[in-house]
Amino acid sequence: MPMLTVSHVHKSFGKHTVLKDVSLTVEAGAVCCIIGPSGSGKSTILRCINRLVPIDSGDVVVDGVSVTDPNVKDADLRRRVGMVFQQFNLFPHMTALDNVTLAPRKVRGLAAADAESLGRRLLAKVGLAEKAASYPSQLSGGQQQRVAIARALAMEPKVMLFDEATSALDPEITGEVLAVMKALVAERTTMVCVTHEMGFAREVADQVIFMDDGVIVEEGTPAALFGAPQMERTKTFLSKVL
């Protein structure tokens, strides 16, 4: 069974249809990168996967659990799906360590000492062991995003979602976040990444999906999609971004 299955998902906001019969699968340990122009539905599909927005029809199954099942609690889903947003969304009044340990304590029920041990290990994993006591205002954008990644990992999710994780960062510090993401790839973390970093997608993805106007126009391996795209819309998009 794939780790993630999206089946015939439709989503509209009022009269505006954002997703039109979108289907995809991601195997355990695989990396799926979703690319496409702004407004194509890329971020919405991530929000459907972790139930931040309800789907109108279709189904999403993560690790054998349907996100449309009303009996599945949000907390149970959050254990399976971690998400890193464009904006860091850290609690400004909490230290980096407290930001990382909050959900393990409140949602997973870890004891304070166990949560602290986990938090320090994860901060070290993203290269911020010495920043445990720092507040978000004392951290650079890249450091804040790495704390956000550690926070998502603290729930030990089955799937990690990244929604343009580097788009709010200066190009100079984008690399430090991509390095952390590449380390997760090396660990065979199942990942779905909405990204405008074509070099990253080409290097790490097992599958690349090109979306436009709410539909999947084309999908394939990085070599196939970047090297020999079949659809004219894909060719046009790539000619402008590569």
31-46 pLDDT tens trace:
999 999 999 999 999 9
pLDDT at 186: 95
Within the chain, strands assigned E span 4-13, 16-26, 31-35, 57-62, 65-66, 81-84, 159-163, 191-194, 207-212, 215-220
pLDDT at 197: 94
178 in Cβ contact with 166 (< 8 Å):
yes
Q: What pLDDT band is residue 76 in, cutting at 50, 70 and 90?
A: confident
Q: Is the pLDDT of residue 210 over 90?
A: yes
pLDDT at 206: 98
pLDDT at 5: 98
Lookup: tokens for 200 = 């990253």
Average pLDDT over residues 142-167: 96
Q: Is the pLDDT of residue 20 over 90?
A: yes
pLDDT at 168: 87
Q: Is the pLDDT of residue 49 over 90?
A: yes
pLDDT at 1: 85
Q: What is the mean pLDDT of the chain?
A: 95
Q: Whole-model pTM?
A: 0.95
pLDDT at 61: 96
Rounded distance between C-alpha atoms, residue 83 and residue 81, angstroms: 7
Which value, to the nearest 10 degrees, does the dihedral of the CA atoms of residues 209, 212, 213, 219 take?
Answer: -30
